[in-house]
Amino acid sequence: MSRTIIPFGPQHPVLPEPLHLKLVVEDEIVSEVIPNLGYVHRGLEMLSRVRDMHQMIYVVERVCGICSCLHALAYCHALEKLYGLEAPPRARYLRIIWGELHRMHSHLLWLGLYAESFGFESLFLAFWKVRERIMDIMEATAGNRVVISTNIIGGVRRDISPENLRWIMNEMDLVEKEFRQLMSTMLKDYTVESRTRGKGYLSKEDAYALGACGPTLRGSGWAIDSRMLEYDALKDFSFEPVVEHDGDSYARGVVRFKEVLQSIGIVRECISKIPDSELSVPVKGNPPAGEAWSNVEQPRGELLYYVKSDGTKNLPRVRIRTPTFANIPPLLVMLKGCELADVPVITLSIDPCISCTER
Amino acid sequence: MIVLENVTEVSLDNVREEVAAAIEQGWRFVTITAVDLNENEFEFIYHFHNPEFEIKNLRLTFPKGTVVPSVSGVLFCALLVENEIKDLFHIDFEGLALDYNGTFYTNVDELEEGERMIAPFATFTTVQKNKD
């Protein structure tokens, strides 16, 4: 049978960012996939050599807009390990509140795009309407909708007032109510099931062996979530990761649906227990020479930072391992053998973030 | 000095075997970090996790100009990060499962014979600003 190479991306209606896959197809079946990256590669890791460690917070926040807060959090955790610092109690709660708000708005954005990928445009707009409530919270509490710049080494830059905390509680009720309506609409829909059930199957063994992470890994039956490390305020709560066992695009979607509800619960719990304290501890001088590794759970999976210090204000090496970079090898396995028409849905099921991937 | 926990030093001769052994023991591959140590040496750190979030690191130090054995043969998912390192640090690998030949991030279809793309991490230097 003749083989044809069909380019998927970098500009494609379902892709919010430029990912290029070369699809080798035999008839309508994908037999091989070769990824091509580089359209948004900026070399941000290298900037650590010329920007000082505090300026680098702004740089890492711009690795990715959707999870900017969590990039800064992971980076600050690594630096705090080098300094031997711990953020004050209130800062640890505020970090988790903003982090979980980021997870919610990222998942809601993805759910909208996912609905659009199989032609459910009204649902796409409905998800984004709910997401606007989260964006409003972000703007009211941090002054910006996306890149909120609240994390600093040793704590946070801003507080959330008691009035705003009460308002966020009310907003969480509205988000949950509206979200549950959409959840039942989408998960019980015949078309959604027929387009996602059994598509892009990733076995439990492959997910682990190929280094998958986040909802891609948990959708294949692994209870692995960096929040189990109980960083910041998470050590005051009991946390159980959301796990699905079917390993297909539907299961990965269900994981994200349930994680939105889980994040709502975490935000409520943080607000109800948030203690009073300073917002940050002072950071004096340059970090001592050494190396540190930090791990936080981004919406798409585990985000890892390796930081090496030589005792000066510039860090000779900052290494960022983003979740989509880890989820591309599993995607190549998922796409092999699928029908050409299913490629957009399966590709979106890993929630690809190319800005993160290429840095 | 604070250093990474659970680090094992490996050599060019046994890096493949050590990575294969880590996988065999149930460790999950996370990534490879390349560090430009000084004028003469590079360092690779192979990071692994297990489901309990314990961490294992294999540290490989080698002279610049060395062709490093690729671990993509025993660990398919390492091929992307090895190609990235090849692009950014100008380090060659022997036995890459899929070799982009230095075009991983540059999106050119083919390079002329002998041509290399500029490797930012390998060529970049900083100069202290003179206050006078």
My answer on whether A153 and A13 are in the same domain is: no
Report in angstroms the alpha-carbon separations of A254 from A10, A42, A205.
27, 33, 20
Read off the pLDDT of residues A73-90 as tens digits, 9 standing for 90 and up.
999 999 999 998 889 999
Nearest CA distance, A42 vs chain B (angstrom)? 10
Q: What is the pLDDT of residue A124?
A: 86
> What residues of chain B lie within 8 A of the CB of A314, using their CB?
126
My answer on whether A20 and A83 are in the same domain is: no
Q: What is the mean pLDDT of chain B?
A: 80
Q: Kindly state whether residue A8 falls inside one of the protein's structural domains.
A: yes
Q: What is the pLDDT of residue B110?
A: 58
Kindly state whether A308 is in contact with chain B, defined as any CB-CB distance less than 8 angstroms: yes
Measured distance CA(A212)–CA(B14) in Å, rounded: 26
Interface A–B counts its CB contacts (< 8 A) at: 88
Kindly state whether B28 is in contact with chain A, defined as any CB-CB distance less than 8 angstroms: yes
My answer on whether A48 and A27 are in the same domain is: no
Q: Kindly state whether residue A231 falls inside one of the protein's structural domains.
A: yes
Measured distance CA(B126)–CA(B132) in Å, rounded: 18
Read off the pLDDT of residues B91-127 as tens digits, 9 standing for 90 and up.
888 888 887 777 777 655 555 655 555 555 544 444 5
Measured distance CA(B112)–CA(A136) in Å, rounded: 52
B98 and A34 within 8 Å at the Cβ level: the answer is yes
In the predicted model, what is the mean pLDDT of residues B13-36? 90
A293 and B55 within 8 Å at the Cβ level: the answer is yes
> What residues of chain A lie within 8 A of the CB of B55, using their CB?
293
Q: What is the pLDDT of residue B117?
A: 56
Phi, psi values for residue A140, rounded to 5°: -70, -30
My answer on whether A1 and A49 are in the same domain is: no
Measured distance CA(B4)–CA(A56) in Å, rounded: 21
Measured from the Cβ of residue B88, the count of other Cβ atoms closer than 10 Å reads 23
Total residues belonging to chain A: 359
Q: Domain range holding A304?
A: 42-343
A44 neighbors A60 (Cβ within 8 angstroms): yes
> What residues of chain B lie within 8 A of the CB of A229, using their CB?
53
My answer on whether A300 and A167 are in the same domain is: yes
A91 neighbors A272 (Cβ within 8 angstroms): no
Q: Kindly state whether residue A359 falls inside one of the protein's structural domains.
A: no
Q: Which letter, b or e, does each residue of B12-45 get, where b requires 16 or more Cβ atoms within 10 Å of its Cβ?
A: eeebbebbeebbeeebbbbbbbbbbeeeeebbbb
Q: What is the pLDDT of residue A354?
A: 83
- B92: CB partners within 8 A, 6+ apart: B67, B68, B86
My answer on whether A89 and A198 are in the same domain is: yes
Kindly state whether B7 is in contact with chain A, defined as any CB-CB distance less than 8 angstroms: no
Q: Which amino acid appears at position B127 of this protein?
A: V
Q: Kindly state whether residue A129 falls inside one of the protein's structural domains.
A: yes
From chain A residues 118-177, the ones with a CB under 8 A of any chain B CB are none
Provide the number of structural domains found in chain A: 2
My answer on whether A57 and A206 are in the same domain is: yes
Kindly state whether B77 is in contact with chain A, defined as any CB-CB distance less than 8 angstroms: yes
My answer on whether A8 and A48 are in the same domain is: no
Read off the pLDDT of residues B62-72 as tens digits, 9 standing for 90 and up.
998 889 999 98
> What residues of chain B lie within 8 A of the CB of A214, using their CB?
none
Q: Which residue of B24, B25, B33 is the best one to mutate when testing the A interface, meaning the one whose CB has the most A CBs within 10 A?
A: B33
B121 and A290 within 8 Å at the Cβ level: the answer is no
My answer on whether A102 and A12 are in the same domain is: no
A288 and B31 within 8 Å at the Cβ level: the answer is no
**Can you say whether the dihedral through the CA atoms of A281, A287, A291, A295 is positive or negative?**
positive
CATH of the domain at A227: 1.10.645.10
A151 neighbors A72 (Cβ within 8 angstroms): yes
Q: What is the pLDDT of residue B122?
A: 46
User: Domain map of chain B by residue range?
Assistant: 7-117
Spans of chain A below 70 pLDDT: 1
Q: What is the pLDDT of residue B125?
A: 46
From A150, A120, A111, select the one nearest A254 (Cα to Cα).
A111
Query: What angle, rounded to 10 degrees, do the helices at A121-142 and A89-117 form?
Result: 160
B96 neighbors B83 (Cβ within 8 angstroms): yes
DSSP, collapsed to helix, strand or coil, labels residue A285 as coil
My answer on whether A118 and A10 are in the same domain is: no
In the predicted model, what is the mean pLDDT of residues B1-29? 86
Measured distance CA(A37)–CA(A17) in Å, rounded: 11
Nearest to A46 among B1, B31, B124 (CB): B124
B63 neighbors B37 (Cβ within 8 angstroms): no
Q: Kindly state whether residue A349 falls inside one of the protein's structural domains.
A: no
From chain A residues 17-46, the ones with a CB under 8 A of any chain B CB are 20, 34-39, 41, 43, 46
B8 neighbors B20 (Cβ within 8 angstroms): no
The answer to whether the peptide bond before residue A241 is cis (omega within 30 degrees of 0) is: no
Among A38-42, A159-163, B54-58, B81-85, which is the least confidently predicted range? A38-42
My answer on whether A162 and A296 are in the same domain is: yes
Read off the pLDDT of residues A112-160 as tens digits, 9 standing for 90 and up.
888 887 778 888 899 999 999 999 999 999 888 888 889 999 899 999 9
Angle at A33 between CA A32 and CA A34, to 5 degrees: 130
My answer on whether A282 and A196 are in the same domain is: yes
